[in-house]
Amino acid sequence: MLNWPDSNAGMTRIFYPSWWKSQTSANLMALPQFVKFHNLLQVVESFCGAKPTRIETLDRDSEGFSGAVVLRVFVQETPQASEREYCLRGWPPENLPRERLLGLHHLLEHIHNCGITQVSVPLRSKFGTSIYAEASQFWQLEPWMPGVADFSSDPNDTRLRNAMTVLARWHDAASRFEPRESEAAWFKSFAAANSPTIADRLGRVERFQKQDVAKLRQLLDTTSNLPPWGAEFEELVEVSQRILGLFQLSAAHVADELSTYRTLSFRLHPCLRDVWHDHVLFQGEQVTGLIDASAARTESPATDLARLLGSLLGDDDERWAVAIAAYRGVRPLSDREAALARVIDQSTVLLSGLTWLERLFVQRLNYSNPPRVLDRLRQITSRLGRQVNRLHPNG
């Protein structure tokens, strides 16, 4: 099997045409068993007019878990043409309804047409639609965006300002989007309305406080192993117990902070809602891609600032100020919106660890790279510990 560097995802497996007939879908670890190779060939050909020359699965053990099949596809449309790279996504209809997915594609097309070229727009198939239904999935094919999600390896202020500039331009374009009637439920803008994220976060904190922390503690005490964890399982349990303890020390304060914003009105428009470190691609100091907009819907821009800056900067107040200033250099951001971003970031720190524990111990999702997941849990524990120390400086 041949490997080559992957620009913005972990390398997993590569398949060539001569293998397709002899391989089974089990070889594509990101694929549901009912998705066969001939399904993929048919889907890609419907968009490109040519079959893929090879397909690459991506490492999905990441921060999000949308349930989508995500593949990197290489297509050579004619023998003389250069290979082109695409991202093929397959959505279970229950995860993203058809109307919302079409609305998302309409939004991305609008944003790209506004000059934000860091956005990849799904192609239309030979049937004239950006969705192809096959094998119980809604499929879309979009150009593969260049660059690497490597801010953490070179986190200089120029890159930070460039990321904020692109995000602000994305928001500015999104605020001018006019959804069709069928799309308005997800992508309508409001001059003043309550933030859905605040109510959602409050509800989740309350649920964990009242019942789910106790359930998770019981599962930690009674679960002896989680395939394929093996030797890492003991540390997983230790880190998980630490996360539960820190949650209980800070949950009441974070809930109080969220409650102060619950009835306040903010401008709302389509936002990415999952723009974080691994979804921002760079070439050098330039941002070349904002990828995976599947969570996008109407929200306050503060939610995107919280998500991105929390993942890029953690608790560095001075660099948060640099980032906010760069955003304000492109479009207005009120002091109340900036303050809301910090509160939402606090709630993200509080809830992200428990979300992972639910995935692992309740839903029993099978991640292929336990060390990477464990490293993510360590990062969460570190930020949560710093948050508790700020709230309880005397112990």
Tens digits of residue pLDDT in 167-219: 999 999 999 999 999 999 999 999 999 999 999 999 999 999 999 999 999 99
Judge whether 167 lies within some domain: yes
Checking if the pLDDT of 335 tops 90, the result is yes
Number of domains in the chain: 2
Checking if the pLDDT of 249 tops 90, the result is yes
Rounded to an integer, what distance in angstroms lies between the CA atom of residue 78 and that of residue 49?
Answer: 10
Q: What is the DSSP letter of 115?
A: T
Judge whether 350 lies within some domain: yes
107, 124, 143: which is the final residue of a domain? 143
Judge whether 310 lies within some domain: yes
Neighbour-count burial of 152, counting CB atoms closer than 10 A to its CB (0-12 exposed, 13-18 middle, 19+ buried): exposed
The structure's pTM equals 0.88
Q: What does each C-alpha distance from 387 to 17, 206, 243, 343 come to in angstroms?
A: 52, 19, 12, 12
Question: pLDDT band for position 319 (50/70/90)?
Answer: very high
Closest CA to 55 of 35, 42, 72, 36: 72
Token pair in block for residue 284: 């050098």
Judge whether 135 lies within some domain: yes
95 three-class SS: coil
Task: Show the DSSP H helices in the chain as ranges.
Answer: 17-20, 37-48, 98-113, 157-174, 184-187, 196-207, 213-222, 233-259, 301-313, 317-328, 335-357, 370-391
Closest CA to 209 of 155, 156, 248: 248
Judge whether 176 lies within some domain: yes
The per-residue pLDDT for 77 is 82
Checking if the pLDDT of 70 tops 90, the result is no
The residue among 33 and 153 whose pLDDT is bigger is 153
- Do 134 and 155 lie in one domain? The reply is no
Computed from CA positions of residues 24, 30, 31, 33, in that sequence, does the dihedral angle turn out positive or negative? positive
- Do 131 and 273 lie in one domain? The reply is no
- Do 269 and 179 lie in one domain? The reply is yes
- Do 295 and 364 lie in one domain? The reply is yes
The per-residue pLDDT for 7 is 34
- Do 188 and 293 lie in one domain? The reply is yes
Q: Are 55 and 15 in contact (CB under 8 A)?
A: yes
143, 176, 205: which is the final residue of a domain? 143
CATH number for 263: 3.90.1200.10
Closest CA to 45 of 125, 140, 120: 125
Rounded mean pLDDT, 305-321? 97
In sequence order, what are the residues at sequence separation of 6 or more whose Cβ sits closer than 8 angstroms to the Cβ of residue 171? 269, 271, 301, 304, 331
- Do 23 and 136 lie in one domain? The reply is yes
In sequence order, what are the residues at sequence separation of 6 or more whose Cβ sits closer than 8 angstroms to the Cβ of residue 345? 306, 307, 309, 310
98: containing domain: 11-143
Closest CA to 23 of 34, 15, 31: 15
